[in-house]
């Protein structure tokens, strides 16, 4: 684990998206969607999966329902999808963001996780990463009226941390989440998949590894 002096950071706190940022869980989400849709006779394309990356469950369902004329209900779709994810959550591994999350925690940097995933999926992923502790601030989709790209989740995390939004950094892997952070008045740093880099606002800094991410968060 890195040793970090929090006085070297240019932000008072860091807000993390979860999937694809601290948790390498996007492949399991994709497999869950594929498995669920395959049972309906639908084989989603790679472009489909990129289009719904970071999207909340109901919006993902509506995308596939409208494109492929699904007859399955949202509740049945969600239950099948979530069951697959939870059954395979032990396959989730940490990304370099998780290493920084641990280092920042050790250094006393205020942090929170803000995600478009429902609480049941968040709990499964955080348990797999072994980073959940009492008092940890996590804003899941169930905790807000509006999911990303609404800034509501990030603003709620700022309120719970008691830190002004402009003094917080947001780490995001999806354009949808990046928009939410920007609307919240926070500085966003992207950690996107290569295929999604051109969908991020050009003015946002992008980090491709832990060293680049730490540099983007640091003074100087």
Break the chain into its structural domains and give their ranges.
Answer: 4-23+91-215, 24-88
Q: Where are the beta strands (DSSP E) in the chain?
A: 13-16, 111-114, 137-139, 168-172, 187-190
Percent of the chain with pLDDT over 70: 100
Report the C-alpha gap between 39 and 56 in whole angstroms: 21
SS3 label, residue 131: coil
C-alpha angle 88/207/192, rounded to 5°?
Answer: 45
Q: Tens digits of per-residue pLDDT, 114-166?
A: 999 999 999 999 999 999 999 999 999 999 999 999 999 999 999 999 999 99
pLDDT value at 63 more than 90: yes
pLDDT value at 103 more than 70: yes
Mean residue pLDDT across the chain: 96
Select from 73, 162, 149, 57 the least CA-distant residue to 112: 162
Whole-number pLDDT of residue 201: 85
pLDDT value at 198 more than 90: no
According to DSSP, the residues that pair with 139 across neighbouring strands are 114
Is residue 53 within 8 Å of 62, Cβ to Cβ?
A: no
pLDDT value at 215 more than 90: yes
Does 3.40.50.1000 match the CATH number of domain 4-23+91-215?
Answer: yes
Structure token pair of residue 180: 């939410």
- Pairing assessment for the beta strands 137-139 and 168-172 based on DSSP bridges: unpaired
Classify residue 34 by burial, with Cβ atoms within 10 Å: 0-12, 13-18, 19+.
Answer: middle
Residue with tokens 């609307």: 183
pLDDT value at 205 more than 90: yes
Percent of the chain with pLDDT over 90: 93
Q: Which CATH number fits the domain 24-88, given the four candidates 1.20.1740, 2.60.40, 3.40.50, 1.10.150?
A: 1.10.150
């Amino acid at each position: 684990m890195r040793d970090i002096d929090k006085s070297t950071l240019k932000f008072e706190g860091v807000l993390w998206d979860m999937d694809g940022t601290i948790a390498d869980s996007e492949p399991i989400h994709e497999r869950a969607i594929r498995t669920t849709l395959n049972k309906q006779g639908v084989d989603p394309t790679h472009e489909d999966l990129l289009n719904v990356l970071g999207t909340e469950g109901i919006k993902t369902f509506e995308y596939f329902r409208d494109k492929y004329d699904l007859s399955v209900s949202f509740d049945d779709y969600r239950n099948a999808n979530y069951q697959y994810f939870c059954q395979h959550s032990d396959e989730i591994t940490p990304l370099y963001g998780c290493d920084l999350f641990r280092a920042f925690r050790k250094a006393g940097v205020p942090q929170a996780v803000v995600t478009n995933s429902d609480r049941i999926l968040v709990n499964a992923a955080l348990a797999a990463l072994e980073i959940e502790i009492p008092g940890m601030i996590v804003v899941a989709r169930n905790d807000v009226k509006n999911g990303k790209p609404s800034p509501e989740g990030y603003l709620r995390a700022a309120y719970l941390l008691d830190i002004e939004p402009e003094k917080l950094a947001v780490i995001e892997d999806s354009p949808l989440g990046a928009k939410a952070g920007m609307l919240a008045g926070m500085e966003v740093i992207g950690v996107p998949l290569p295929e999604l880099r051109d969908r991020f606002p050009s003015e946002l800094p992008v980090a491709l590894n832990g060293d680049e991410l730490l540099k983007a968060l640091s003074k100087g």
